Amino acid sequence: MARLIVTTIPLTGHVQPMLPIASELAARGHELVWITGAKFAQRVRATGAEFVAMSNDWDDADLERAFPALAGTRGLPRVKLQLREMFIAPMATQLADLEAQTRPDAVLSDSAHLGAGLFAEKHHVPWIELGISALMLPSQDTNPFGSAQPPDRGGPGMHRFLNWLIFRVLFGSVNRAYRRARIAAGLPAGDQMYFEVMSRELFLQPTVAELEYPRRDLPSQVAFIGPLLPPQGSAALPAWWPEVEAARAAGRPIILVTQGTLATDPSELVEPALAALADRDALVIVTMDRAIAAPANARVAAYVPYQALLPYCRMMITNGGYGGVQMAIAHGVPLIIAGGSEEKPEIAARVAWSGAAIDLRTGRPSPKRLRKAIERMLAEPSFRERAQTIQRVMAACDAPRHAADLVTMLLPDTQRQAHAS
């Protein structure tokens, strides 16, 4: 069997989707060493992988404590800082962590772990990337990542111009930082942009093509594998769960409101959503790991098993985290998305383009704006119909198995033959 190094930056949304792939590879008998943050050690070991603590560790529960330069920043300046501080600056340390291990047959990383690409380039080892969000690769058929504009806004000429303007000019400092980091790691600077970095062998995109813009120039190594959903598990249901059952039996709408695991200030979305829904005959479920004031029709919990809850929901109101969006669509649930940080505006734009969501185009919507979107979604069946159409496509996927099959095909001949036997 093969020896594989798995490596992920210490963000929950980057570690979580890797877990089912690692479990599938370990179940096939491959030896896995997983380098990531210490808070994920138990989950890593549960897959059958050996856990190794990364040198450049931090806690994603408080990004501004981990990266003080982010304090007080918003919008484009914050995005640039995040790219430089969280993803580019650690490259040399990530490379050193990988080089401290016995040489693997392949390395599997999340797409933000740039040190894995350096390791593959330097040591000529196959590199498999796992996408953790919408595709950001420039294309003649799309507006640039970061514009949050669907491809029907402008044509090829405008796409080329905007890609040059955004990627070469607006993010020029990020590209320069990436090249300096390559030099610091002992490799040539090269002329590649940060947004062009991609494995030449295999890039696993954990969704279906229906939720990504079509591209005639999509690289051949990009494989849509379907959503990577967490296992059903045995988490306890909240004490108020009978209210969910009763609401469903009465035909009362059940609406899930969540801000995911990264941008969790309740004033951005949760509180306006609760205000918008306070007088509606609906059961509102909020996932929020802090105490908040809630109206009588709302129930708040730090965690609710989405696999149990989503089949009951009429809609999800979210800030657009990639994993949560995929899970909602996988259950045929349409979304109202208020994406304002990280890459969430791009995710919102894609799901709205697919017809399964309303994109509010702000991360801080007013209760009035949310109320209008909620009324529209309840009145127009097309959003749910489209979500259910994509759900059927997703249901035909087995993402962990497909990913493991593709990884196995990249292994040296001797390893493939051993696996086949």
More confident residue, 155 or 106: 106
Residue % of the chain over a pLDDT of 70? 95
Beta partners for residue 50, in sequence order = 33
List, in sequence order, every residue forming a beta bridge with 299; answer none if it has no partner.
285
Does the structure show a pLDDT above 50 at 113? yes
Please report which confidence band the pLDDT of residue 421 belongs to, taking 50, 70 and 90 as the band edges: very low
Annotate 357-420 with DSSP letters as a single string.
Answer: EEE-S-SS--HHHHHHHHHHHHH-THHHHHHHHHHHHHHT--HHHHHHHHHHHHS-HHHHHHHH
Q: Which structural domains are found in the chain, ordered by start? A: 3-226+398-420 (3.40.50.2000), 241-395 (3.40.50.2000)
Residue 105 has pLDDT above 70, yes or no: yes
What is the arithmetic mean of pLDDT over 2-23? 95
Q: Per-residue pLDDT for 262 more than 90?
A: no
Rounded Cα distance between 332 and 121, Å, is: 41
Residue-averaged pLDDT of the chain: 91
Confidence of residue 233 (pLDDT cuts 50, 70, 90): low
Which SS3 state, helix, strand or coil, does residue 337 take? Answer: strand
At residue 417, does pLDDT exceed 60?
no
Single pTM value for the model: 0.90
Does residue 234 carry a pLDDT above 60?
yes
Q: Report the pLDDT averaged over residues 88-111.
A: 96
Q: What percent of the chain has pLDDT above 90?
A: 73
User: Could you tell me which residue, 77 or 100, shows the higher pLDDT?
Assistant: 100
